[in-house]
Amino acid sequence: MPQGAESDVNSVSVTNDFLQFTLSANPIESSVLGISVFDLTDFSLFDPAISSTEAWKQIEHGVIQLGAHAQGMALVQCRHRVDQKLTLEFLQDVGFQFRELTQHPVLLRDASVKRSLSEFGSLFEYQEVQDQAQLNSLATGYMNSFGIGRFQGDSKVSHETIARRFRSWILSSQQSKNRKLISINDLFGNNVGIFLLRLENDGRIFWELTAINNALTSQGLAKKVFAFMTHRSLQIGHSIETNFSSENVKLFKIYLDLGFSLGTPSLAMHRWFYQRNYGES
């Protein structure tokens, strides 16, 4: 075990004179991809003099300790702001690949914003999905709606696997009390979109997943649905946060038109691990 390491069944944390990080199992991603997937978080580099080889060995040891070696393959994924240049360059030297540039829109509750959005409150119906049959139907119906993401273009992940990943993500909405899948319906009861919300203890609302029904082509529908959900979310929490791929140009305009400010972008990175590499530099 690396110096300064602490661990439990699902995670390993390392803090020493050179760096710190936490490696945690991601059960949803693991079940979809069929391999062990780990999230690398809280990564800080204290001494840039540490070699990428040594850093790799410490991260690799955590992967082995958490059991990925039994399957012969694993994936470690992380996300860092673009202004963390030293960390990004170092992780690239370690072997992580840049996969996606993501934007981070934020909107704080404000009376003027709230009034301007209230007109959309009567256009749609807000339904928290609790019925398992409806959940399964929405998960299957929307699983192919996400054509942009960090696994797109990765030859190791098929389109079918990407679709299953989003389906599992939607199905996971009922696994914790602070996450809710919302079905947005028109006034005739027809679904027009879904939002997966995470309610933080401090009053923030995080939109984990958003999608508009691809079968509908009404002009301006997406903006109206997002405006409606913004209005409803600000009735629940004091702010809204979310992430979206920089490749999704349409969302740029929607978020800016609704008054969101764009925080510092971040880069999603991941590295594949193979059993034959374990113990190698």
Contact 275, 69 (CB under 8 A): yes
Residue ranges of E strands in the chain: 5-7, 11-15, 19-25, 36-45, 73-81, 97-103, 105-108, 125-128, 179-185, 191-199, 204-212, 239-242, 244-245, 261-262, 266-274
At 194-209, the pLDDT tens digits run 999 999 999 999 999 9
Res 150: pLDDT: 75
On the question of pLDDT at 279 being above 50, the answer is no
pLDDT band at 98 (very low <50, low <70, confident <90, very high): very high
The CATH number corresponding to 5-101+267-277 among 3.40.50, 1.10.10, 3.40.630, 2.60.120 equals 3.40.630
Closest CA to 243 of 252, 232, 231, 234: 252
Domain 105-263 class?
A: alpha beta
Res 264: pLDDT: 93
At 238-277, the pLDDT tens digits run 999 999 999 888 899 999 999 999 989 999 999 998 765 4
Question: 18-22, 46-50, 123-127 — which is least confidently predicted?
Answer: 46-50
Residues of the chain with CATH 3.40.630.30: 105-263
| Rounded CA separation 54/24 (Å) | 20
At 79-92, the pLDDT tens digits run 999 999 988 999 99
Res 116: pLDDT: 61
Res 82: pLDDT: 95
Rounded to two decimals, what is the model's pTM?
A: 0.83
